[in-house]
Structure 1
Amino acid sequence: MTRPLALAVALAAAGLSATSAFAQVPLDPATPNFLMWSPELQSRGYRTIEDIFQVNTIERGETVRPLVMAERQIDPTFEHAGKSWTVDSYMEAFNVSGVLVLKDGQILLERYGMGRQPADRWTSFSVAKSLTSTLVGAAIQDGKIAGLNAPVTDYIPELKGSGYDGVTVRQLLMMSSGVKWNEDYTDPKSDVATAGATPAEPGMNAMVSYMRKLPRENPPGAVFNYNTGETDLAGVLVANATGQSLSAYASEKIWKPYGMERDAIWMLDPSGLERAGCCISMTLRDYGRVGQFMLEGGMAGGKAVVPEGWVAQATSAQIDNGDAGYGYFWWMNRDGAYQASGIFGQSITTYRDDGLVIVINSAWPQATGRDLSLARSALLTAIHAAAK
């Protein structure tokens, strides 16, 4: 399965209750299902997640890394679906709140829509997965995790004796554990639908409790199987290994030393842990700084945050996913870019050979769709060509 919908889409597509796997718990129980928000609620709510859900804060530091305007600005036009498009017409048609283009760390294009201002944050949906994998790399660099070949059970001991015996950290990040997992969003009995509704064993994280009961289906590392639950396991692994929350660790390793301009917000699950696979809110320019941090090899404050070679591995195809390949919670595009991707139109797309980072934040009318993806691809292609 390529570019699968995230969990919340499962709720919408299958009509599942808020007790389904990974469902969020709003501060106000009257809040509509996160995946079924009206356009007005999307426009407001994607900017103010902290007013709607329980969150932790990723604190910024005392200094901000500047992003200066390049001498050359771009404003490409392109043809798509029999029409001529500008950046502005694309943004209006597809409910885009922000487009940012960085070339060699300088701004070639910065545009806002939907009433969003530069200081406004916007939720990431599954773009967060890619940041979680980077925190795994940071924990390896810090010696908190022994390496990519370390057994997952060394850091989540409750998984010993389960289908995760013999599964490595690398295989978890490739979504190739071999553990049987059904991510069929239309099946009310699938794992993605039932995990969150299953009572946890006393004193145990709910997702760990559920997933340690799943059987082995394939040898570890052999088959890509998109598994939303394993992104949460990666978060549990980092938190256990470092003894810190994901928010505190992200602040220490990236937000403060790299110079993010504003605190970020990370949504929590019902147990109070960060949703490792979803929902970090940050400014448009801070999304760009995340992309630039990766483009620069994971360096922050003059120090290597991740091991040498980590970024190249994480953002290149490590396993066949039936498309252009999958890295460590990063997608490969057919045009050579790598991408962090989230539903409703969130993406950080990076062309490493061109020093180019393109950020798009949106509130698409549906979580995903072929027409939506093709239109975004046409915009990305036009921006890529204009930036050369």
Structure 2
Amino acid sequence: MHPLCRFAFALPVALIAASMPVFGEDHQSANPVYSKTGPDAQGYGQNLGYPVGLPLLRQPYMVGNYSHYDSLHPSHLVAKAEKPSPFERASTELQVSYRYKDQTLTVQDYLARNPTTGLLIAKGNSILFEHYQYSRNDEQRFMSESMAKTFVSMLVGVAVAEHKIRTIDDTVETYVPELQHTEIGTTSIRALLHMASGIQYTQSYSKTDDNAKLHELLLSPTGPGPIATVKTFNTRVAEPESVFSYASLDTEVLGLVLTRSTGMSLSEYLQTRVWQPMGAEADARWIVDNTGQEIASCCFNATLRDYARFGLMLAHDGSFNDRQIIPRQWVLDATRPANPGSFLALGKGEHPSGYGYQVWLLSGKRRMFALEGVYGQRIFIDPESGLVLVHTAVRTQAVGSPGEAELHALWNGLIKEYGTSLPM
């Protein structure tokens, strides 16, 4: 069970947006395409109107919950820009094929085979493909899961550039004095960015792992608050910056460092430094704990097109619409391929190329990287071509789903067919 599924009340179906778009199958242009159904639609609650309610991962509620998660918990507003940055649209919708299990498949085959709620592909500033399933639409905000971690790391880069954080080699306790004399307090910001705090923490997505405990404490309306929650994990098992161990704990501490160093909430800092400068077209929401601190490791909610804007900004090394929003060198450092032999060059499983600053590095001959969240949330980015793929989903398996390998195959097919460099 997902660590956020610890509360067992239900919200009415009426919370789902009453006005829905006209659904159709127009594949001639790159305008949004909507479908009322999707793979195993009845299992995902189609006959119930895709209801919203907790537990989060009860399958008939997943579609509704992942597109209305900010109705389930308190959240902070991340306000849209006064003047959204415009998107162009391809006159003909992208058609891409890929190889998977000795078959040649199309992007339409992918959607028919996988519980994807939204899929958007963009290149440069042009949308090439935008499809929604299970009655989802382009005005709904989709929950990020751990894609939010990369948002946090980019804010750290902004805070360094603004001299609010002196250096990422500073320790946590420099900015969060309540964590003095704790193991996490003596850990460097750099180690947190690399998921290398060395603090004992289990994240297997079970009911009883440390990650479940962390999120239960943070999301409980009677929880002890973020400082006391973080102090719960105080056993060092490795020196900082020596062993990679994926831990949402590390991102939560980065969130505390940011709020203390900037004097602003994560939502306000994101809004003023990134969201509005990049020209977001819709409001976003970030879930908060009972003290008003954002859940830094997850729970950011935004539309697909605004996720695409964020991805395109990273594809352009922090620049969007001729404006440098995140420092270019920070984005390069955050997404640089790991050195062979480094503890960050993982070399196995789904991520053979390793890890950067709260961002996954993709295999290949050129620099590519991804924002990832459990249950199928992804943003793939190829800076060389400017290609970005945004994927939201409701997989019933947190990690290791067969759909993950197929999504990577789709991305590889996309790069093969459309991954030529952008003109200079």
Q: TM-score, normalised by structure 1?
A: 0.85
Given candidates 343, 352, 362, the residue that maps to 2:383 is: 352
Q: Which amino acid counterpart does residue 33 of structure 1 have in structure 2?
A: P
Give the drift of 1:73: 4.1
Give the drift of 1:68: 0.2
> CA, structure 1 residues 10+299, in 2 after alignment: closer, same or farther (shift >3 Å)?
same
Given candidates 313, 322, 326, the residue that maps to 2:355 is: 326
Paired with 1:346 and 1:163, the residues of 2 have a C-alpha distance of 32
> Are 2:4 and 2:216, in contact at CA under 8 Å, matched by a contact in 1?
no
Paired with 1:310 and 1:90, the residues of 2 have a C-alpha distance of 34
> Are 1:196 and 1:206, in contact at CA under 8 Å, matched by a contact in 2?
no
TM-superposition CA deviations, 1:116-168 (whole Å, max 9, x none): 22222211111111111111111111221112222211111111111135422
Paired with 1:258 and 1:26, the residues of 2 have a C-alpha distance of 36
Paired with 1:77 and 1:172, the residues of 2 have a C-alpha distance of 38
> Are 1:123 and 1:279, in contact at CA under 8 Å, matched by a contact in 2?
yes
> Are 2:316 and 2:383, in contact at CA under 8 Å, matched by a contact in 1?
no
Q: Which amino acid counterpart does residue 345 of structure 2 have in structure 1?
A: D
The correspondence of residues 65-214 of structure 1 with structure 2, limited to 5 A, is: 65-70=85-90, 73-186=93-206, 188=208, 190-195=209-214, 206-212=225-231, 214=234
After the TM superposition, which of the residue ranges 284-293 and 146-155 deviates more from structure 2? 146-155
> Are 1:288 and 1:358, in contact at CA under 8 Å, matched by a contact in 2?
yes
Give the drift of 1:43: 2.0
1:33 aligned onto 2:21? no
Given candidates 391, 410, 424, the residue that maps to 1:379 is: 410
> Are 1:224 and 1:320, in contact at CA under 8 Å, matched by a contact in 2?
no
Give the drift of 1:183: 2.8
Paired with 1:240 and 1:303, the residues of 2 have a C-alpha distance of 27
1:224 aligned onto 2:255? no
> CA, structure 1 residues 81+140, in 2 after alignment: closer, same or farther (shift >3 Å)?
same
Match of 1:50 in 2: 70
Match of 2:319 in 1: 299
Give the drift of 1:294: 1.0
Paired with 1:167 and 1:277, the residues of 2 have a C-alpha distance of 18
Paired with 1:198 and 1:227, the residues of 2 have a C-alpha distance of 16
Give the drift of 1:93: 2.0
Q: Secondary structure at the match of 2:305?
A: helix
Paired with 2:410 and 2:198, the residues of 1 have a C-alpha distance of 37
Give the drift of 1:65: 0.6
Match of 1:9 in 2: 2
> Are 1:232 and 1:276, in contact at CA under 8 Å, matched by a contact in 2?
yes
Count of aligned pairs? 365
Q: Which amino acid counterpart does residue 384 of structure 1 have in structure 2?
A: I
TM-superposition CA deviations, 1:274-331 (whole Å, max 9, x none): 1111121111111110101112222357554333410011112452334311111100
Give the drift of 1:197: 6.3
> Are 2:319 and 2:328, in contact at CA under 8 Å, matched by a contact in 1?
no
> Are 1:25 and 1:269, in contact at CA under 8 Å, matched by a contact in 2?
no
Q: Which amino acid counterpart does residue 38 of structure 1 have in structure 2?
A: Q
> CA, structure 1 residues 284+185, in 2 after alignment: closer, same or farther (shift >3 Å)?
closer
Match of 1:342 in 2: 373
> Are 1:60 and 1:261, in contact at CA under 8 Å, matched by a contact in 2?
yes
Paired with 2:88 and 2:155, the residues of 1 have a C-alpha distance of 27
After the TM superposition, which of the residue ranges 76-85 and 142-151 deviates more from structure 2? 76-85
User: Where does the alignment leave 5 or more consecutive residues of structure 1 unmatched?
Assistant: 1-7, 19-23
Q: Secondary structure at the match of 2:145?
A: coil
Give the drift of 1:207: 3.7
Paired with 1:139 and 1:198, the residues of 2 have a C-alpha distance of 28
Q: Secondary structure at the match of 2:166?
A: coil
Q: Percent sequence identity over matched residues?
A: 28
Match of 2:25 in 1: none
> CA, structure 1 residues 197+246, in 2 after alignment: closer, same or farther (shift >3 Å)?
closer
Q: TM-score, normalised by structure 2?
A: 0.78
Q: Which amino acid counterpart does residue 276 of structure 1 have in structure 2?
A: A
Match of 1:3 in 2: none
> CA, structure 1 residues 74+197, in 2 after alignment: closer, same or farther (shift >3 Å)?
closer
Match of 1:4 in 2: none
Paired with 2:311 and 2:360, the residues of 1 have a C-alpha distance of 14
